[in-house]
Amino acid sequence: MNAHLQPTGSAYFIAPETASVESHTLSILVDNEPGVLARVIGLFSGRGYNIESLTVSETEHEAHLSRITIVTRGTPSVLEQIKTQLERIVPVHRVVDLTVRARELGQERPIEREVALVKVTGSGEMRAETLRLADAFQAKVVDATVDHFIFEITGKSSKIDQFVAIMKPLGLNEICRTGIAAMNRGSQGM
């Protein structure tokens, strides 16, 4: 076996070196029943695939359907393999690679948003600067005392990363992020 194709404990070693690793957003429509999320996650962990972001929520109450949004990285062949394996899980109704679909529609990426709660502690001049910068990022104050603020910020993950980086020297104390919610532009559904 070639040295560059040695197993690493991850499925990523299967792809040739020339294939580039990309980040993709997958949307998975599943039955809302116990154990489904564990089966989907088990597929990833059992094959050494990493999940960068995971969100899940019931989206069609009457039909008892939930939508799982997963951001993962891999070569095109690995991503296709993940999609194919997900489609084989019985309670999975549909798997859409939103990144591929966006490209088919002539767009760079699907619409992706994330929500974060960010706690910043501080006093005096730092409080005024914290509020000024939060306003520039359109972050909303959802809780405040004389020694802290909790901001709610919504946007692309890169915007939230930038906000967190700016808040670090001002007294960043705690962060809670939801993970990415995503869908493609246009009138067509999943």
Measure the CA angle with vertex 68, ends 184 and 86; round to 5°: 100
Using 50, 70 and 90 to split pLDDT, how confident is the model at 69?
A: very high
Span 62-69, average pLDDT: 94
Q: Are the CB atoms for 157 and 114 separated by under 8 Å?
A: yes
Query: How many Å is the Cα radius of gyration of the chain?
Result: 20
Write the pLDDT tens digit of every residue in 140-164.
999 999 999 999 999 999 999 999 9
Q: Which helix (H) or strand (E) holds 133?
A: helix 125-136
Per DSSP, 162 falls in state H
Domains and CATH numbers, the chain: 22-105 (3.30.70.260), 111-183 (3.30.70.1150)
How far apart CA 9 and CA 64 sit, in angstroms, is: 36
**What is the pLDDT at residue 91?**
92
C-alpha closest to that of 179 among 62, 71, 107: 71
Write the pLDDT tens digit of every residue in 75-107.
888 899 999 999 999 899 999 999 999 999 999
Span 114-131, average pLDDT: 94
- Number of neighbours of residue 101 by Cβ within 10 angstroms: 19
pLDDT at 5 over 50: no
**What is the pLDDT at residue 24?**
95
